[in-house]
Amino acid sequence: MKLILASASPRRAEILTAAGIRFEIHSARIDESPVPGKTPKHMVERLANAKAEYVARELPHERDAVILGADTVVVLDGQILGKPRDSADARAMLRKLRDREHQVISGFSLIRIADGARNAGSDMTRVWFSAMTDREVDAYVLTGEPLGKAGAYAIQGLAGRYIPRIDGCYFNVVGLPLARVWQALTGLGWPRA
Cα separation, 161 vs 159, whole angstroms? 5
Terminal C-alpha separation, the chain: 13
DSSP state of 144: S
Q: Is 64 a catalytic residue?
A: no
Cα separation, 129 vs 193, whole angstroms? 37
Q: How many CB atoms lie within 10 A of CB 153?
A: 27
- Torsion angle of C-alpha atoms 138, 143, 146, 148, degrees rounded to 10: 140
- Cβ atoms of 154 and 145 within 8 Å: the answer is yes
Q: Which of 71, 115, 138, 167 is catalytic?
A: 71
Residues noted as catalytic: 71
